[in-house]
Amino acid sequence: MARSDKLYSVAAIFDKPDGIIHAAEKVKDAGYKQFDVNTSYPIHGMDNAMGLSSSKVGYVTLAAGLFGGTFILLFMWWTLAESYPLFIGGKPFFSLPAFFPITFETSILFGAVATFIALITVFFKLPYNNHPLHDTNYMKRVSVDKYGIYILAEDEKFDKDEIIELFKSLGASSIELIYLPKEEKYGMLQPKFMLFLLVVIVGISGATYFTLNKLMYMTPFNWMEYQDKSNPQESSLFFADKRSMRTPVEGTVARGFIPYPYKGIAYPKEVLSNPTLPSKEILKLGKEKYLTFCSPCHGDYGEGTSRLNGQFPTGPTQHSDKVRNYKDGMLYHIITNGQNSMPAYDKQISRKERWAIVDYIRVLQRAKNAKKSDLVEIKKESSTNGQ
């Protein structure tokens, strides 16, 4: 690297870590502000010796993280609650707990990316290929086994002779004057650069065109285009009837799937029998699923009072004579098949969970329309328990 006559700094080399610590303290006490220390490994206590304040990197991370978290939280609110509301499991449109994971992850992402960019561009000021310390004996030695300190010429108190005497008094093993590199300017329109740019553009464009328009259609790279498959409504040369879309074998049922025989029928003449017993476990499951999927329209107690303040249609009460007289299978059929404005829930709720909801609805109906025998049994049970 060619050097100019303009002085950049005065640098000194020390052989021991104690020496560089002592030198940094003395330079700081002498009133110098524009100086730095270079060592081949971190030295404990150097921050205090140099009088360094806390790093500003943390403020960048905090600001970017808060911005990212706030941005994604407002974006999810606007998307799910205002622009395109979605009904998911009976939750409110703006369900804050469900947004916490994405908010947290986005805050981390924004903070990490902003910190990296700030370190490279602002704090380290990279790329800096012609730094004055590059290719100097000072940098070569402090990169291996020595310890160095230098004071910039732009410091207010800078005096070359005084600094040299200071370093000598501190026991420096060597002192070096570092000069700024000569400025070399290269025009953007030089023939060599333009030729290189042309070759790169033509090469990349040609390679892209060849890959996407030629190579992908050559064997064996064309396997994605020519596959052994049949498109919908396409004729087949393999089957005798020349139909590519085959009907399932009559009577076959997918493994783990029990088909519902009354699907699509509004009011079936016969309905399935309830295969469950209203145990504590079943009723707990039924309550959980009822509150998730049914209560937004029918209310928490089945009284036909929507718990979401009119965000969804108000469903009929479960305590009318008509509903109480329904068989368990009819309630199961309505959950499975849907009725009026109520959609089918066979995709969202499993077969066991649907029967558990039916059992829980019966509990709500019995609690709302208790018999005298129920009250007598409760009174006897309370007396037995000493209440």
- For every residue of 35-61, DSSP letters joined together read EEEEESS--TTHHHHHTPPPPSHHHHH
Report the amino acid identity of residue 28. K
Give the model confidence (pLDDT) of 271-286 as tens digits: 999 999 999 999 999 9
Cα–Cα distance, 215 to 218 (Å, whole number): 5
> How much is the pLDDT for 238?
86
CA angle 86, 90, 92 (to 5 degrees): 65
> How much is the pLDDT for 84?
79
Q: What is the model's pTM?
A: 0.46
Please, are residues 107 and 65 in contact by the beta-carbon 8 Å criterion?
yes
* pLDDT < 50 regions, the chain: 387
Question: DSSP state, 354?
Answer: H
Cα–Cα distance, 217 to 284 (Å, whole number): 59
Across the beta sheet with 3-14, what order do the strands follow?
35-39, 147-152, 3-14, 174-181
Q: Which of 358, 304, 298 is nearest to 327 (CA)?
A: 358
Packing angle between helix 17-29 and helix 160-169, nearest 10 degrees? 140
> How much is the pLDDT for 274?
92
Q: Which residue do the tokens 């718990």 mark?
A: 307
Cα–Cα distance, 266 to 169 (Å, whole number): 101
> How much is the pLDDT for 169?
94
> How much is the pLDDT for 384?
58
> How much is the pLDDT for 122?
87
Q: Which domains does the chain show, CATH number per domain?
A: 1-200 (no CATH), 280-382 (1.10.760.10)
Q: Which residues lie below 8 Å from residue 154, measured CB to CB, with a gap of 6+?
A: 34
Taken in order 39, 43, 49, 50, the sign of the CA dihedral is: positive
Helix H or strand E encompassing 202: helix 191-213
Please, are residues 132 and 180 in contact by the beta-carbon 8 Å criterion?
yes
> How much is the pLDDT for 386?
52
Q: Which of 281, 379, 247, 261 is nearest to 329 (CA)?
A: 261
Cα–Cα distance, 60 to 55 (Å, whole number): 10
As given in the structure block, the two tokens for residue 152 are 């910039």
> How much is the pLDDT for 245?
85
